[in-house]
Amino acid sequence: MKRREVLKIGAAAAGLGFPAIIRAQPKEIVILGIWPATGAFSDVGPILDRGMRMALEERDMKILGRPVRYIVRDSATQAGAATRRVEEAVDGEGAKFVIGPWSSGVALAVSEVAKRKKVFHYFSGGTEDISGARCHRYSFQWAASPYTAAKTVVDNFMKANPKARRWHLLVADYAFGWSVEKYIKEVGKTHGIEFVGADRHPLGEREFSNYVQKAAANRPDAVAMINFGLDAVSGAREIFNFGLTPKVPLIMTWSSGVEELVQLTPEIRENIWVGSNFYYTADTPVAKKFVAAYNAKFGNPPGYAPSAAYGMTRMMLHAFDKAKSSEVRDVIAALEGIEVEDLVGRMRVDAKTHQTLRPYFFMRCKPKAKMANPLDFAAIIATGDTPLPAEYAACKDLGGF
């Protein structure tokens, strides 16, 4: 028998004998979650994974009838490690859709990989560069713009505390901190706020006494922290230890909500005001369903981290539905300009910047006597969704594919 005949028989057998198998195993869609399992934010990595997995499981791990293979890689909160692992997942595993990581600085590096490898990328964090100066066609931002956050926090705080015009800022010294600080100062000007101090601290700082003592020396009416995770927890604790709170209000401008507040005692939380991209009492059908499912599964309400992972994945899935295609370009084009009722309410993706336009939450922590249960940390007192004014927009051209 000649080689050509063998091939013909093989092809016929494949077509006639095994069509059921071929139909049962359509090509899978590989989705990568790049989350921190080690290093800074390693405490958040597992819960980010939970949120993303829950969104995919809602669809029975299927997109457009095709199976989803969800893979997770450790970002280690290091640009080098994260970019290398994303590249490996794209080249080796065939991942075309990437969500994460959790640090703005690392996300900017991953965004460059997404651009070079031409894969879909969704991120949630405080840097404005993803949808600003370093915007491009492949990356999207889920978190509210730092301007939206600053405007919501400053406007509503000043509404409740009109006399608190001397502010001291404690800022995490990386991309996220700089972005939010810029707009806190911009919005602050409109309220006549005087910034009596603005100290920057490194990511992962644990000894806040030196910063707090300096803040106390400035005798501010309010202290605003622009930091995240354990940095924010350590800062809030030390501000209480030095006797600033509860006399002086503390604003956690960009908080993870539950994950941070649970680490503080009710005494420390007194007179703390919190801005966040999500709080579990958000009054939307999707949030209620998600919170109930998360609570049932893990025994506690979700904070910003799992909610962001869940929310980003849902937005991406909406784009798949709209595109009716699993091609990266089609999904991106579908997500551009999409408008849906989702996790935090009305959500729209700005087609010109890839910024998700959505509400930002502002809460006030409850005193111990008013807490209905140990996890009843705060009450939402306002939401804001003012988008970044055009004059501040740094994303001039997303470019092509």
Partner 1 sequence: MNLLLGQILNGIATGMLYALMGLGLSLITGILNIPNFAHGALFAIGAYLLVTTVGLIGNFWLALLIAPLGVAALGLLIEYAGIRRLYAAGHDYQLLFTFGLALILSEGIIVVWGPVGFSHLPPPILRGGVDLGFTFYPKYRLFVMVVAGLLVLATWLFLEKTRYGAIMRAGIENKEMVSLLGIDIHRLFTAAFALGAYLAGIAGALTAPIRGINPNMGVDMLGIAFVVVALGGLGNLLGAIAAGLLIGVAQAVVAAYWTEASTAVIFAVMALVLLVRPQGMFGIR
Tell me which of 78, 104, 234, 245 binds partner 1, using CB under 8 A. Answer: 234
336 binds partner 1 per the rule CB under 8 A: no
237 binds partner 1 per the rule CB under 8 A: yes
242 binds partner 1 per the rule CB under 8 A: yes
Q: Which one, 43 or 93, has the nearer CB to partner 1?
A: 43
Cβ–Cβ < 8 Å for 280, 373: no
Q: At its nearest, how many Å lie between partner 1 and the CB of residue 55?
A: 22
Q: Which one, 190 or 241, has the nearer CB to partner 1?
A: 241
205 binds partner 1 per the rule CB under 8 A: yes
374 binds partner 1 per the rule CB under 8 A: no
214 binds partner 1 per the rule CB under 8 A: yes
| Contact stretch for partner 1 (CB under 8 A) within 24-32, 111-119, 182-190, 235-243 | 235-243
Q: Which one, 179 or 386, has the nearer CB to partner 1?
A: 179
Tell me which of 137, 151, 201, 318 binds partner 1, using CB under 8 A. Answer: 201
Interface with partner 1 (CB under 8 A), residue total 34
SS (H, E, C) the chain: CCHHHHHHHHHHHHHHHCHHHHHHCCCCEEEEEEECCCCCCCCCHHHHHHHHHHHHHHCCCEECCEEEEEEEEECCCCHHHHHHHHHHHHHHHCCCEEECCCCHHHHHHHHHHHHHHCCEEEECCCCCCCCCCCCCCCEEECCCCHHHHHHHHHHHHHHHCCCCCEEEEEEECCHHHHHHHHHHHHHHHHCCCEEEEEEEECCCCCCCHHHHHHHHHCCCCEEEEECCCHHHHHHHHHHHHCCCCCCCCEEEEEECCHHHHCCCCHHHHCCEEEEECCCCCCCCHHHHHHHHHHHHHHCCCCCHHHHHHHHHHHHHHHHHHHHCCCCHHHHHHHHCCCEEEECCEEEEECCCCCEEECCEEEEEECCHHHCCCCCCCEEEEEEECCCCCHHHCCCCCCCCC
| Contact stretch for partner 1 (CB under 8 A) within 14-22, 196-204, 281-289, 339-347 | 196-204
Q: Which one, 190 or 210, has the nearer CB to partner 1?
A: 210
Tell me which of 88, 267, 283, 327 binds partner 1, using CB under 8 A. Answer: 267
Tell me which of 63, 76, 233, 382 binds partner 1, using CB under 8 A. Answer: 233
210 binds partner 1 per the rule CB under 8 A: yes
Compose the 146-185 pattern: x for residues touching partner 1 by CB under 8 A, - for all others. Answer: ---------------------------x------------
Tell me which of 6, 217, 379, 394 binds partner 1, using CB under 8 A. Answer: 217
Binding residues for partner 1 (CB under 8 A): 42-43, 46, 173, 199-202, 204-207, 209-211, 213-214, 216-217, 230, 233-234, 237-238, 241-243, 259, 262-265, 267-268
